[in-house]
Structure 1
Amino acid sequence: MSEILIVENDLNIQQSLQRCLNHANFNTICCNHKNIIQNLEHNKIDAIILDITPRQENDFELCVKIREIVKIPLIITSINSEVSHKVNAFEKGADDYLTKPYDFLELVARIKALLRRIEPQEMIFGFLHIDAKKRIVKLHNELLELTNTEFDILLFLIENRLQPISRDRIAHTINAIHEDTGLRSIDTHIRNLRNKLGDSAKDSKYIQSVWGVGYKFCL
């Protein structure tokens, strides 16, 4: 489970952000600007959300210090929407920039996107091997012939593993699934994918059905 360091000036936003990230299956640590480096040195942090107010322009130098220690995703949040302010943030080492007020769900999506970029392209779950870059799946070292849609669904479930993903979210994320027929066809794609994985709904080794929600990758 990824560890996110939250550096947020507004206590109400900090608490709401922490609840949202915890709900999205992230671990969180909250600190003030003075304790960032200390937390990076004593904790395994996977991404940082750093809030900067107009009165804290010098805190951009924190980005430089952070980059000297770690190369993890760094997201700047600020009420300042000026382009020059954003450019300064990126030049100092930020990977992303969100102007307040922002939607927490968008922030979660951006964090996941940044974390995917640093995830290893090859993933191993027991006897199941996935090469995301080459789009190859092997089970017991035997190549599985998955359709593009089946591969995309499997990879999407893995990227969001251990949390249930709704059929509606799968339908709107996988481009090959048309929205009008997506919810009806997803079960068919899952069933075909399970057959190729030697999996089943009753005895789930990889893809588990979550009643009333959808599916999740369970390794």
Structure 2
Amino acid sequence: MKPVVLLVEDEARVASLLFDYLRNDGFEPVWQQTGSDALNWLANNEAALVLLDLGLPDIPGMEICRRVRQSSGLPIIMLTGRDTEMDRVLGLELGADDYVCKPFSLREVAARVRTVLRRGLPVPAVRDALTLDDESGRAQIGGRDIQLTVVEFQLLRLMAARPGRLFSRAQLIDGMYADGRVVTERTVDSHIRKIRQKLALAAPGQEFIQSAYGAGYRFEAAPRRGGALVPAAQACLA
């Protein structure tokens, strides 16, 4: 059975192109032109994913996302012409799974749909848990020590204390350096890259830290293995 993708888009030309491409790519697209029509459709039907335009004529896409998230974990990919960090952060914090800016490639949108849908596939549970001990500054996965610097530990501790929350680079800088020193956002990216490398050595195949393009990073209490959500490995803060 083909995955049903609800396309919520008021521009008929864009919707037509997406509809045809998704159908030819193995999906079962359903098009709704307004937010109210989309909500009514969802109340009586099931979809595998929603492609949601933010600039709808009646109900804003952000509000549609918020309402869907109140009662459902249905994957949502936002479509918008507003490429600002605030829009991306707000959309992701409201629960969107991904964010695509117009103009976009039809192939890219279809690839992002497949990627988001793969995240929901069941995989074997992971037993190894990440533990962080504030007193000793020690990090472990499944009893195996992770050699983190002081700044790396602080950065990981900040994100792990709020699993699932999206942190902007500016927020992470404020959390890493209490003395208010000026550092670049690339410094954050460098620390994240090193932390990921060290976590990967201790727990191969698990992805504890996810990136949201252009918006920041989030820590997953249930890390991903092979792109799918793993229902174990809760971070423990001692």
**TM-score (normalised: structure 2):** 0.49
Measure the CA separation in 2 of the matches of 1:54 and 1:38. 15
CA, structure 1 residues 119+11, in 2 after alignment: closer, same or farther (shift >3 Å)?
same
Match of 1:61 among 57, 60, 63: 63
Higher share of residues assigned helix: 1
Matched with 1:42 is 44
Is the Cα contact below 8 Å between 1:79 and 1:99 reproduced in 2? yes
Q: Distance in 2 between matches of 1:107 and 1:116?
A: 14
1:64 and 1:92 in contact (8 A); partners too: yes
Aligned to 1:4: 5
Secondary structure of the structure 2 residue equivalent to 1:6: strand
1:120 Cα offset (Å): 2.3
Compute the displacement of 1:58 (Å): 4.0
- 1:161 corresponding residue in structure 2: none
2:46 and 2:85 map into 1 onto residues whose CA distance is 32
Runs of 4+ in structure 1 displaced over 2 angstroms?
53-59
Question: Residues of 1 paired with 2:36 and 2:121: CA distance?
Answer: 29
Q: Distance in 2 between matches of 1:132 and 1:16?
A: 39
In structure 2, relative to structure 1, the CA distance for the partners of 1:28 and 1:57 (3 Å cut) is closer
Q: Given the superposition, is the C-alpha separation of residues 15 and 58 from structure 1 closer, same or farther in structure 2, using an over 3 Å criterion?
A: closer
Q: Is the 8 A contact 2:10 2:56 kept in 1?
A: no
The amino acid of 2:122's aligned partner reads: P
- Indicate conservation of the 8 Å contact 2:35/2:58, yes or no: no
Contact (CA 8 Å) 1:54, 1:80: kept in 2 or not?
no
Whether the aligned pair in 1 keeps the contact of 2:35 and 2:56 (CA below 8 Å) is no
Structure 2: gaps (5+ residues): 127-238
Q: How do 1:61-140 and structure 2 match up within 5 A? A: 61-121=63-123
Whole-angstrom distance in 2 between the partners of 1:28 and 1:85: 26
C-alpha distance in 1, partners of 2:49/2:97?
A: 10
Which has the larger displacement, 92-101 or 36-45?
A: 36-45
In 2, distance between residues paired with 1:74 and 1:112?
A: 12
Q: Structure 1 13/52 Cα, relative in aligned 2: closer, same or farther at 3 Å?
A: same
Is residue 17 of structure 1 aligned with residue 18 of structure 2? yes
The one-letter amino acid of 1:4's match is V
SS class of match (1:77): strand
**Greater alpha carbon shift after TM alignment, 46-55 vs 74-83:** 46-55
Amino acid aligned to 1:48: V
2 CA distance for matches of 1:20 and 1:2? Answer: 14
Q: Give the 3 Å change call, closer, same or farther, for CA 132–25 of structure 1 in structure 2.
A: farther
Query: Could you tell me the TM-score, scaled by structure 1's length?
Result: 0.53
2: CA distance, partners of 1:45 / 1:64: 17
SS in 2 for 1:118: coil
5+ residue gaps, structure 1: 122-130, 134-219
Instruction: State the identity as a percent.
Output: 26
CA contact (8 A) 2:54 2:60 kept: no
- Relative contact order higher in (CA < 8 Å, ≥ 6 apart): 2
1:46 and 1:52 map into 2 onto residues whose CA distance is 19
Aligned-residue Cα RMSD (Å) equals 2.3
Match in the other structure for 1:163 = none
CA distance in structure 1 between the aligned counterparts of 2:59 and 2:44, rounded to whole angstroms: 26
Give the SS at the match of 2:119: helix
Letter in 1 for 2:11: D
Describe the shift of the 1:113–1:2 C-alpha distance in structure 2 as closer, same or farther (beyond 3 A). Answer: same
Once the two structures are TM-superposed, the CA of residue 132 in structure 1 deviates from its matched residue by 11
* 1:90–1:56 CA distance, 2 compared to 1 (3 A): farther
